[in-house]
């Protein structure tokens, strides 16, 4: 324990941020790009993104505007090909990832209010670029089921939430300007901030 604390402390003093960024994204992130390009939060290229908080599994579903042949994965799972956490697309616009609460980087985050992981929608097979999408998805598994008795829905706590975040793991938190959708039911649906004229739902 003391050893761990000392290591953590040392890490904070020297290079915690750098280490975290490299660890999280060592497969796709190149440090030479990080100086040159601000990835930021992208909200373009999709018409709808959904988190579905099931009893045993959480699912992420996205409808993209264009044919997609990139990759979809939970942050930290880029190299775990052929698992529930990674999917290579070969055309099509609608994609889903479904995984249980003990895989794909899912962690309980008390501050966020539930079990959470981040899904990256990356247009290039290997590298993160500006325009890539990322979504933090959260499931509050202690929240009551709507169908139990839902006459007073407005008093119910958040059960599912999906928030646009930066694809770059080293980016700052987006804060209060975040584009987010919360629901008291199992499913939360996020639409892009500006309605698109060609949106098809
Ligand atoms: C999650 O559900 C619990 C139990 O209903 C509730 O007390 C809590 O406020 C909820 N969390 C959030 C972030 O709404």
Contact in structure between 93 and 106 (CB atoms under 8 Å):
no
Instruction: Supply the range of the domain harboring residue 97.
Output: 2-190
* Atom number in ligand 1 closest to CA 113: 13
Task: Indicate whether 196 belongs to any domain.
Answer: no
Query: pLDDT tens, 19-35?
Result: 344 444 444 444 444 44
Q: What is the DSSP string of 69-114?
A: -SEEEETT-TT-TTSTTEEE--S-SEEEEEEETTSTT-EEETTTTE
Task: Indicate whether 16 belongs to any domain.
Answer: yes
* Residue stretches of the chain with pLDDT short of 70: 1-39, 146-154, 172-177, 194-201
Task: Indicate whether 137 belongs to any domain.
Answer: yes
Task: Indicate whether 197 belongs to any domain.
Answer: no
Residues in the ligand 1 pocket, defined by CB under 6 Å: 113, 140, 142-144, 157-158
Looking up tokens 């402390």, which residue turns up?
9
Task: Indicate whether 72 belongs to any domain.
Answer: yes
> Which residue has a Cα nearest atom 11 of ligand 1?
113
Ligand 1 centre from 108 Cα, in Å?
Answer: 13
Query: pLDDT tens, 53-79?
Result: 999 999 999 999 999 999 999 999 999
Ligand 1 centre from 53 Cα, in Å?
Answer: 14
Domain total in the chain: 1
> Which residue has a Cα nearest atom 4 of ligand 1?
143
Predicted structure pTM score:
0.76
Q: What are phi and psi of 152, to 5 degrees?
A: -115, 60
Ligand 1 centre from 104 Cα, in Å?
Answer: 23
């Amino acid at each position: 324990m003391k050893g761990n604390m000392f290591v953590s402390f040392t890490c904070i003093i020297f290079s915690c941020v750098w280490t975290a960024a490299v660890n999280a994204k060592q497969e796709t992130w190149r440090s030479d790009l990080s100086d040159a390009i601000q990835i930021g939060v992208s909200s373009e290229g999709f018409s709808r993104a959904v988190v579905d908080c099931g009893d045993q599994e959480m699912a992420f579903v996205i409808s993209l505007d264009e044919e997609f042949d990139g990759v979809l994965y939970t942050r930290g799972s880029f190299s775990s090909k052929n698992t529930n956490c990674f999917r290579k697309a070969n055309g099509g616009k609608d994609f889903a990832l479904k995984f249980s609460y003990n895989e794909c980087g899912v962690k309980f985050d008390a501050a966020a209010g539930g079990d959470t992981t981040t899904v990256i929608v990356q247009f290039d097979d290997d590298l993160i670029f500006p325009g890539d999408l990322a979504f933090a998805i959260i499931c509050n598994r202690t929240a009551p089921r709507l169908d139990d008795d839902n006459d007073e829905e407005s008093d119910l706590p958040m059960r599912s939430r999906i928030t646009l975040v930066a694809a770059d793991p080293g980016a700052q938190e987006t804060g209060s300007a975040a584009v987010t959708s919360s629901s008291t039911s199992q499913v939360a649906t996020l639409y892009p901030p500006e309605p698109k004229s060609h949106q098809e739902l």
